[in-house]
Amino acid sequence: MSTASITLPPSGAATRATPRVWRAGLAASATWLALAALTALWPNKEIGFSDWAYTHEFAILCAVLAAALLALALAGEHGGRLQRALRPAGPWLVAAPALLGVWQTVTAKLGLLPPPFFAPPQSLLEVYLDDSARLATSVLHSLRLLLNGIAIGAVVGFITGVWIGWSRAAGYWVHPLLRFLGPVPASALLPLAFFFAPSSYSAAVFLIALATFFPVAVLTWSGVAGVSKSYYDVARTLGASPWFLVLRVAIPAALPQVFVGLFMGLGAAFSVLITAEMMGVKAGLGWYLQWAQGWAAYANMYGALLVMAALCSGMITLLFAVRDRLLSWQKGTVQW
């Protein structure tokens, strides 16, 4: 019979976990530092009107980001929540400065893309610093318009979808109209909305609500109509009323489809936003884009597009969080 030998640490020796270095963070720090050096040390190509503003400020910002990432990378397991949150984005933190470096090279350094149609990354910094007040006002106006239009379209579409999916009479009379008129682009109704609406703002809200209404109504109807009849039979056996069947059986079972419609409606609302803000509004991201194009301020246009993309991504993330919270009880039956 053999006995296994156990090696004990020397007396008084403390066992300490060696913190692991975040390698992706080191690579990201080096890439951001290279972008800072590229921006600061390589002179900009001479252009006709003036040099690009905020070039040195952009280089300093890149260097600060490189230093922050280096500190997080060397902190290892002591990096805290910030490092744990950034770890999944490590490859993007490397790719982002590499892409910005290519952008910087072909615009400000070599001039391969003609200004002012193509501006370097520091031009966006100039937009966000010098025109922040106007851009912030436009974001607030667009956000107000989007929230009102999406809320109205989602509520009306949800009620319509439940009605069509539950009632045979509504399915017979309303469903064909929905399939016939729903695919019509909301922007095609711009003249009618502008004529019948009491104000340009209400007409813009109507267009966004109409763009949101169709996908929400169709997916809600599909979800309600697809509920298994056995659920209704069990509920009726227990004495459930028709209202109970709708509120406690049909709607909860259809919620995954409803959220798919909401995601599609949100994308449709953003696609209609620029058209909706063509109707006499005095502020908004759509108005800002038209103003920038009219003055050939293409850097402002690109800055507004990035803000719009960030706003859309933020609202989608918020909608995902709401969906996960409401459908947490369905994790075993719904594909996530």
53-77 mean pLDDT: 92
Q: Please, what CATH class does the domain formed by 132-330 belong to?
A: mainly alpha
Residues with Cβ within 8 Å of 241's Cβ and at least 6 positions away in sequence, in order, are none
Q: Which two tokens stand for residue 70?
A: 């280096």
What rounded mean pLDDT belongs to the chain? 85
Q: Which two tokens stand for residue 253?
A: 């079972």
Q: Helix 132-166 crosses helix 298-326 at what angle (to 10 degrees)?
A: 40
> What one-letter code names the amino acid at 182?
G
Evaluate whether 286 touches 274 at the Cβ level (below 8 Å).
Answer: yes
pLDDT for residue 253: 87
**Upper half-sphere CA count for residue 232 (Cβ side, 13 Å):** 14
Buried b (16+ CB within 10 A) or exposed e, 52-90: bebbeebbebbbebbeebbebbebeeebeeebeebeeeb
> What one-letter code names the amino acid at 321?
A
Which position has the higher pLDDT, 19 or 44?
Answer: 44
Residue boundaries of the structural domains of the chain: 23-119, 132-330
pLDDT higher than threshold 60 for residue 282: yes
pLDDT tens digits, one per residue of 190-242: 777 777 777 888 888 888 999 999 999 999 998 998 888 888 888 888 888 88
130-134, 192-196, 228-232, 249-253, range with the lowest pLDDT: 192-196
18-37 mean pLDDT: 89
**Upper half-sphere CA count for residue 202 (Cβ side, 13 Å):** 6
Three-class SS of the chain: CCCCCCCCCCCCCCCCCCCCCCHHHHHHHHHHHHHHHHHHHCCCCCCCCCCCCCHHHHHHHHHHHHHHHHHHHHHHHHHHHHHHHHHHHHHHHHHHHHHHHHHHHHHHHCCCCCCCCCCCHHHHHHHHHHCHHHHHHHHHHHHHHHHHHHHHHHHHHHHHHHHHHHCHHHHHHHHHHHHHHCCCCHHHHHHHHHHHCCCHHHHHHHHHHHHHHHHHHHHHHHHHHCCCHHHHHHHHHCCCCHHHHHHHHHHHHHHHHHHHHHHHHHHHHHHHHHHHCCCCCCCCHHHHHHHHHHCCCHHHHHHHHHHHHHHHHHHHHHHHHHHHHHCHHHCCCCCC
Residues with Cβ within 8 Å of 66's Cβ and at least 6 positions away in sequence, in order, are 29, 30, 32, 33, 36
pLDDT for residue 11: 46
Evaluate whether 97 touches 63 at the Cβ level (below 8 Å).
Answer: no
Which position has the higher pLDDT, 331 or 254?
Answer: 254
pLDDT higher than threshold 60 for residue 299: yes
pLDDT higher than threshold 50 for residue 17: no
pLDDT for residue 9: 52
**What gap in Å lies between CA 78 and CA 265, rounded to an integer?**
42
